[in-house]
Chains A and B, each alone.
Chain A
Amino acid sequence: MALRTTTASLAVLTLADARFPGGGHAHSGGLEEAVHRGAVSDPRQLREFLHGRLHGAGAQAAVFAAAAAHAAARRVHPHHWSRLDAEFDARTPSPAQRAASRAQGRGTFRAGRAAWPSEVLDELLTITGSPHHPVVVGVLLGAGASGTPVEAAFVTAYLSVSGPASAAVRLLGLDPFAANAAVAALEHEAEGVAEAAARSAGESPEDLPGTSAPALDLLAQEHQRHHREEVRLFAS
């Protein structure tokens, strides 16, 4: 495994840490809606949900995080960030998921700028004040901090499941050891997702792979609709 031969930088660990103050704690990645519908109520169902998250939203985020880290290290023309931004939008059909990604991207940018400032990060902000989350992670690791495309992909793949697992503990009172074990059990799958993402990191934005997870799209939309009508604890 490629990841086993490298020592993760402190930047990688910090960005993946649940204590990173980038606003992620208020997002459940569709888990709250799934709980509301009775689709997730125990550790076995949480493992299934996380498996879907990893290969759906997680794989998509990993592809763009790796591409952004690759592009940031090469100091691409700022126009490249517009293209990545538009292509991530195109691969995210749910407006609620796009909004959640931009909200976390903006928060990660704010926290990341204080820790790992770079010219590339500032260039990204000239494109949009709320860049997508995986693109920000990729730029932080590729430009300002010390990280590779595969590490950027691994961070976002991990975050795609660690957030919902934490939300499950808070929403269901689930055994935290079981929830943590559910995340840890995805180690090889998450590495596979990150390595696949790294293989496409150098492709032009239009050619980057797209994953599809209609159930997550629908959960995100329903979550937002319920927000307006009744109780919701999480922003997504």
Chain B
Amino acid sequence: MQAEHRDHVHGSDGHRHPVDFDPTAAGPDPFPPEGVGGRPLRIGIGGPVGSGKTALTAALCRTLGEELELAVVTNDIYTTEDADFLRQAGVLERERIEAVQTGACPHTAIRDDITANLDAVERLCERYSTLDLVLVESGGDNLTAVFSRGLADVQVFVVDVAGGDKVPRKGGPGVTTADLLVINKVDLAERVGADMEVMLADAHRMRGELPVLAQSLTDDPAASAAADWVRQQLAAHRSAVGPAAG
């Protein structure tokens, strides 16, 4: 909830923005990312169980696999199911997919102790020295699970229409701080009685200027808009660190 008329001023340039009383609305991450000299861009893909993280990952691999050197790290609560799904979907060679075990704590493995994931990323980088992009897909978790900036340069949080149209309103760091919020399975909105207008309005209210993307992989299996966003991130990453081959 924002108090529209009670702006406050701070900083040397005296800029103004609305006072926000919502304790879950953390806004954009205020910390600059770690140095990324010459290494591939790492994008985290997180979100609750069943929201479509693996489907989005597979779609991005299918769409971007031709134009980019990419690899994937999966974090499953249980088996190597997601990795197996990607392998069977035939969107990437088997050797480009690494699965890590998370010790029953998927959020720990992407946030508090990123060791296993960094090891997996490093194995992929050793195997393919010219990688442009590594997608790190988290295990399905709760609304507070976000990626450490030591692991992911930018992150996508995936929620879905079938999970209830109240999810964006609930907030939490995933919804409020992710660099991109994807609202998935919009083709099901009518079936599950979800109000897309409310969902999108809530998402924008919670996230301020951060982007929100509504998509259906049934209607657009290529995930075109998400792929465009990835291309933009990659361009920004390259202009910040120079070409990956350097």
Nearest CB of chain A from residue B211's CB, rounded to whole Å: 30
B72-87 interface mask toward A, CB cutoff 8 Å, 1 = contact, 0 = none?
0000011100000000
Q: Which of B19-27, B114-122, B129-137 contacts A (4 or more CB under 8 A)?
A: B114-122
Assess whether A26 is in contact with B119, with CB atoms less than 8 Å apart.
Answer: no
Assess whether B79 is in contact with A25, with CB atoms less than 8 Å apart.
Answer: no
Nearest CB of chain A from residue B70's CB, rounded to whole Å: 24
Q: Which residues of B contact A111 (CB under 8 A)?
A: 115
Assess whether A170 is in contact with B105, with CB atoms less than 8 Å apart.
Answer: yes
Assess whether A235 is in contact with B115, with CB atoms less than 8 Å apart.
Answer: no
Nearest CB of chain A from residue B189's CB, rounded to whole Å: 34
Does B103 count as interface, using CB distance less than 8 angstroms?
Answer: yes
Q: Which residues of A contact B100 (CB under 8 A)?
A: 26, 235
Assess whether A235 is in contact with B112, with CB atoms less than 8 Å apart.
Answer: no
Assess whether B104 is in contact with A21, with CB atoms less than 8 Å apart.
Answer: no
Q: Which residues of B contact A103 (CB under 8 A)?
A: 116, 119
Assess whether A25 is in contact with B113, with CB atoms less than 8 Å apart.
Answer: yes
In angstroms, Cα B77 to Cα A171, docked, is: 12
Assess whether A26 is in contact with B101, with CB atoms less than 8 Å apart.
Answer: yes
In angstroms, Cα B157 to Cα A16, docked, is: 33
Does B102 count as interface, using CB distance less than 8 angstroms?
Answer: yes
Nearest CB of chain A from residue B52's CB, rounded to whole Å: 23
Assess whether A233 is in contact with B102, with CB atoms less than 8 Å apart.
Answer: yes
A22, A170, A231: which contacts B79 (Cβ < 8 A)? A231
Nearest CB of chain A from residue B140's CB, rounded to whole Å: 14
A24-64 interface mask toward B, CB cutoff 8 Å, 1 = contact, 0 = none?
11111000000000000000000000000000000000000
A107, A230, A232: which contacts B101 (Cβ < 8 A)? A232
- Which residues of chain A from 39 to 95 have any CB-CB distance to chain B below 8 Å in the complex? none
A20, A25, A230: which contacts B105 (Cβ < 8 A)? A25
Question: Known contacts being A21-B113, A25-B108, is A234 close to B79, with CB within 8 Å?
Answer: no
Q: Which residues of A contact B104 (CB under 8 A)?
A: 167, 170-171, 233-234
Does A23 count as interface, using CB distance less than 8 angstroms?
Answer: yes
Q: Which residues of A contact B78 (CB under 8 A)?
A: 231, 233
In angstroms, Cα B111 to Cα A81, docked, is: 32
In angstroms, Cα B101 to Cα A167, docked, is: 13
Q: Which residues of B contact A27 (CB under 8 A)?
A: 103
Assess whether B101 is in contact with A23, with CB atoms less than 8 Å apart.
Answer: no
Give the top 8 A-B pairs by smallest Cβ distance, nearest first: A23-B115, A107-B115, A26-B103, A21-B113, A170-B104, A235-B101, A233-B104, A25-B103
Which B residues form the contact surface with A (CB < 8 A)? Answer: 77-79, 100-105, 108-109, 112-116, 118-119
16 A-B contacts, Cβ less than 8 Å apart? A19-B112, A24-B113, A25-B109, A26-B101, A103-B116, A106-B119, A107-B113, A107-B115, A107-B119, A167-B104, A170-B103, A230-B79, A233-B77, A234-B104, A235-B100, A235-B101
Besides A23-B116, A25-B108, 12 other A-B contacts (C-beta < 8 A): A19-B112, A19-B113, A20-B113, A21-B115, A22-B113, A23-B119, A24-B113, A25-B113, A107-B115, A111-B115, A167-B103, A231-B79
Which A residues form the contact surface with B (CB < 8 A)? Answer: 19-28, 103, 106-107, 110-111, 167, 170-171, 227, 230-235
